[in-house]
Amino acid sequence: MATELDKSTGAAVSETGDHQRVVAQTHEADALLCEQDSDATPQLSVVMPTLNEEDGVGECIERAKNAIAELGMTAEIILSDSSTDRTPEIGREMGAIVIEPDGKGYGYAYRYAFERARGDYIVMGDADTTYDFEQIPRLLSHLREEEADMVMGSRLAGEIKPGAMPPLHQHIGNPLLTKFLNVFYGAGVSDAHSGFRIFTKEAYEAMPVETNGMEFASEMIMEAGAQGLEIVEVPIVYHEREGEETLESFADGWRHVRFMLVNAPGYLFSAPGAVLGVLGLAVMGLAFSGMTVGGVNFGLHSMIAGSLLTIVGYQIGTLGIFASVSSNPIRKPEDPITNRVTESLSLERGASIGVAMFAVGGVYAGVLVYQWISSGFGSMTFTMGSLVAFTAIVLGLQTVFSAFYLSAVTDCQD
């Protein structure tokens, strides 16, 4: 870059003779900046969450101002600040609006600022020099030309400068989390956790985001996909940061994974439940019929294992239904069983099905009890049929109480 900045003041200095051009751009940008209480309405809002970023915030603001001057648009630069160093002072000196969130967290800092942003277009990015805010015009151009709702700068499809991203993040963490988002939510992006984005105010208002932590980056993409918003990516250069790293690799990575799983009960509960249930029923069927597969004879122990798999699979699948009804996840299960149950199953119908299952198993169990009493309470052979009956009894009881639970949950929501 031809222009460098004084890290302590953010003032532009030049080593290549471009000083006058830079100063002219700065003055032009200052004239386009809207103050917090200004009657002028900005077209563009540039939002940066800041937590002790005095080493890099000046350069980030200067680059944003260069972009504003290039665009010739009225704009505001908002620092959502929770710092204890000189970050807010530097921001105010350079014309930025500094607000202090009344809560903690990366996501909350963004949400607090977005609610107060007045521009038709909103840019988000970290104030640690990793993102080049002079690229805002390029992102805005793609947003307009491709009629997108959000444009993201892709680090993984662009260039990552040496030392800018830990190898664990570059080659494992970010690609893996992006894969999760693409599979679970159909995001279709190459770098789901890039923090350099531009979107319309209408797009943000269509995304009911509510998280406070680092998972906010994932939530935006998940909600955008759920709302059918158009996301476009452009390659960017990711630079080495100024100041201390605040990201906790494993803790923040787990927050992302947990949030994605909890909001996709179809993948967390329904699919595993269906696999285990079908496998359990298949094993029980093979054992009960006495069939031999590949020279393997399925006996009583296989029957027991099949019964346990069936019960566990049924229970996990039921949890998927519970999660869909009670938590309103971003990505609801789309399998026909869950959809049918959540849309049409009433307490009476569910309880009736459960009672019927219990009755079928209960009749057989009753016969066994009668035989046991008639034999003088002697020992009895444990048969395949008895295990089927007891499995039906367990599933019937689960169905009855699950129907009551679903009824209670839906009544509370009404």
330-342 pLDDT per residue, tens: 877 777 777 777 7
Q: Which pLDDT score is estimated for 292?
A: 79
> Regarding predicted confidence, which is higher, 12 or 179?
179
Tens of pLDDT, residue by residue over 56-92, are: 999 999 999 999 999 999 999 999 999 999 999 999 9
Q: Which pLDDT score is estimated for 12?
A: 44
Does residue 366 contact residue 375 with C-beta atoms inside 8 Å?
no
Radius of gyration for the alpha carbons in the chain, expressed in angstroms and rounded: 30
Q: Which pLDDT score is estimated for 125?
A: 97
Does residue 203 contact residue 164 with C-beta atoms inside 8 Å?
no
> Regarding predicted confidence, which is higher, 249 or 390?
390
Tens of pLDDT, residue by residue over 5-35, are: 444 344 444 445 554 555 566 678 889 999 8
Domains of the chain by residue range: 3-262, 265-413
Cβ atoms within 10 A of the Cβ of 235, count? 13
Can you tell me the mean pLDDT for 349-362? 92
> Regarding predicted confidence, which is higher, 234 or 370?
234
The enclosing H or E element of 346 equals: none
> Regarding predicted confidence, which is higher, 380 or 80?
80
Closest among 400, 399, 392, 398 to 364, alpha carbons compared:
392
Q: How many CA atoms lie within 13 A of 310 on its CB side?
A: 23
Does residue 207 contact residue 229 with C-beta atoms inside 8 Å?
yes
Question: Is a pLDDT exceeding 50 seen at residue 4?
Answer: no
Tens of pLDDT, residue by residue over 247-294, are: 676 787 888 888 888 888 888 898 899 999 999 999 999 998 888 787
The model's pTM:
0.77
Q: Which pLDDT score is estimated for 195?
A: 94
> How far from chain centre, in Å, is Cα 362?
45
Question: Is a pLDDT exceeding 60 seen at residue 303?
Answer: yes
Does residue 80 contact residue 127 with C-beta atoms inside 8 Å?
no
Question: Is a pLDDT exceeding 60 seen at residue 317?
Answer: yes
Q: Which pLDDT score is estimated for 259?
A: 87
Report CA torsion sign: 97, 98, 104, 106: positive
Select the highest-mean-pLDDT range: 36-45, 167-176, 230-239, 247-256: 230-239
Alpha carbon distance 87, 53 (integer Å): 6
Q: Which pLDDT score is estimated for 371?
A: 84
DSSP 147-168: T-SEEEEEEEEEEE-TTSS-HH
> What is the average pLDDT value for the chain, to the nearest integer?
88
Closest among 179, 253, 254 to 221, alpha carbons compared:
179
Which two tokens mark 21? 């051009």
Percent of the chain at pLDDT > 70 equals 91
Q: Which pLDDT score is estimated for 363?
A: 93
Tens of pLDDT, residue by residue over 189-233, are: 999 999 999 999 999 999 999 999 989 999 999 999 889 999 999
Angle among Cα 379, 382, 383 to the nearest 5 degrees reads 140
Question: Is a pLDDT exceeding 80 seen at residue 411?
Answer: no
Give the CATH architecture of domain 3-262: Alpha-Beta Complex (3.90)
Sequence-separated (6 or more) residues with CB below 8 Å from residue 167: none
Does residue 132 contact residue 239 with C-beta atoms inside 8 Å?
yes
> Regarding predicted confidence, which is higher, 170 or 235?
235
Alpha carbon distance 335, 270 (integer Å): 8
Integer CA distances (angstroms), 1 to 4, 134, 136, 331, 383, in order: 7, 11, 16, 43, 80
User: Pseudo-torsion of CA 104, 172, 241, 237, nearest 10°?
Assistant: -120
Extract the runs of DSSP E, i.e. beta strands, from 65-174.
75-81, 97-99, 121-124, 150-160
Which two tokens mark 179? 């894969």
Sequence-separated (6 or more) residues with CB below 8 Å from residue 50: 57, 79, 80, 81, 82, 83, 87, 88, 91, 127
Question: Is a pLDDT exceeding 60 seen at residue 180?
Answer: yes
> Which amino acid type is present at position 362?
G
Which two tokens mark 44? 């563009």
Does residue 190 contact residue 156 with C-beta atoms inside 8 Å?
yes
Alpha carbon distance 57, 50 (integer Å): 8
Convert 262-280 to b/e letters by CB count within 10 Å (16 or more is b).
ebbbbbbbbbbbbebbeeb
